[in-house]
Structure 1
């Protein structure tokens, strides 16, 4: 008996089994990751059908996780800027919805590290501020600045303005070292102490300042710098 190959083109698939139709009739949770991606991007290109593209995109997402970039996706043959932006927009929308409905607790440097995953490999220093409520639950994660971290660029008012708006009880600062060396510089230590002092005055505690790089991290609080 000859086995019929699986239909690769969406138009060759019975309408009831097409990803978008299945979302409508059965709900998105019933779809595989590949089918969800296919529903987002809609179609492939000449010579590369949507299912092939979806499979390769899933491999990329499994490898890069939340750190996936537009450039990572565009590097896949057949994924142009429009498709890459559709995927990243879907990711960001889901992340924002999760922030509103689920607030993870951050009680250790390891809990905070996933929120710096996207800056580990950046060539410039990025400074991130995480605001927390009184139960150590995430309120918001923001990028404060990009560039070299020093006393003149990182002022307490830049860090604490959003924390005050969020009515945060505490904050965590994270930034990356493009060099790969997570040892705090003298500026890192000075800025951290200044922020800790400002936090005491404002009643918004600086819980930690975490430096990240490709293969490690340093918790300034854990190392006793403040």
Structure 2
């Protein structure tokens, strides 16, 4: 007689985490996993959620459905669940069209990028009335830095016919102090924006503690209005 050892696979309980800690304490990937509930034959729910997150970050809201259809294992039911969640969020809390009175107003809207384990460089396109047109992840870097070129930053704002942009990135290390590379990049973006006719209003650094650093507020690379 022998005893067969059962292989127990633990499954993260994101529902319990949400109920105990609140939805704002779940990462984007965990929220997607909670919506999906299951993975597919090739990927578990965590892996599938990561692929969907990357897909959504690189898609416009108008073509999200077509892009989700390209993800293996995403059937109609899963796609409908994701699209319904996106639409509800857009209707009740959508940031498109929201007016920005000061560049720091964008900080609460980008909080969910602050706890990423890699640097995410984000660009927010603004209209002439300082209303948000779109928010996009331009680049995802390694643990300590991301490499960004001005042409990548301004490609979509040009298509948006944006009048201005606010750029931001997170520091996984937790420090808010900009590196020399951050300062040099900001100068390049400001100069490129002047040539293209798209103002760069600020560059903001976020960390997981909820703090932020504003190049504009610190008078680095930007000249604040005397008004």
Q: TM-score, normalised by structure 2?
A: 0.63
Q: Does 1:217 align with 2:177?
A: no
Q: CA deviation at 1:90?
A: 2.8
**For residues 131 and 168 of structure 1, what CA distance do their matches in structure 2 show?**
6
- Larger deviation, residues 91-100 vs 119-128: 91-100
Q: CA deviation at 1:190?
A: 0.3
> Is residue 168–residue 204 contact of structure 1 (8 Å, CA) maintained in 2?
yes
**Secondary structure of the corresponding residue to residue 121 of structure 2:** strand
**For residues 120 and 101 of structure 1, what CA distance do their matches in structure 2 show?**
17
Number of the residue aligned with 1:64: 23
Q: Does 1:144 align with 2:138?
A: yes
Q: Give the alignment's Cα RMSD to 1 decimal.
A: 3.5
Kindly tell me the number of residue pairs found equivalent between the two proteins.
170
**For residues 91 and 167 of structure 2, what CA distance do their matches in structure 1 show?**
23
- Larger deviation, residues 215-224 vs 112-121: 112-121
**For residues 126 and 92 of structure 2, what CA distance do their matches in structure 1 show?**
15
> Is residue 189–residue 200 contact of structure 2 (8 Å, CA) maintained in 1?
yes
Distance 1:81 1:117, change over 3 A: farther
> Is residue 133–residue 139 contact of structure 1 (8 Å, CA) maintained in 2?
yes
Q: CA deviation at 1:186?
A: 0.4
The list of structure 1 runs, each at least 4 consecutive aligned residues, that deviate by more than 6 angstroms after superposition, is 98-101
Q: Which of 99, 110, 121 is matched with 1:116 structurally?
A: 110
**For residues 89 and 156 of structure 2, what CA distance do their matches in structure 1 show?**
19
> Is residue 70–residue 81 contact of structure 1 (8 Å, CA) maintained in 2?
no
Structure 2: which 5+ runs fail to align? 1-12, 50-77, 222-227
**For residues 214 and 100 of structure 1, what CA distance do their matches in structure 2 show?**
22
Structure 1: which 5+ runs fail to align? 1-52
Pick the structure with greater CA Rg. 1
Number of the residue aligned with 1:184: 178
Q: CA deviation at 1:79?
A: 4.3
Q: CA deviation at 1:69?
A: 2.8
Deviations 1:8-36 (CA, angstroms, capped at 9, x unpaired) = xxxxxxxxxxxxxxxxxxxxxxxxxxxxx
> Is residue 196–residue 205 contact of structure 1 (8 Å, CA) maintained in 2?
yes
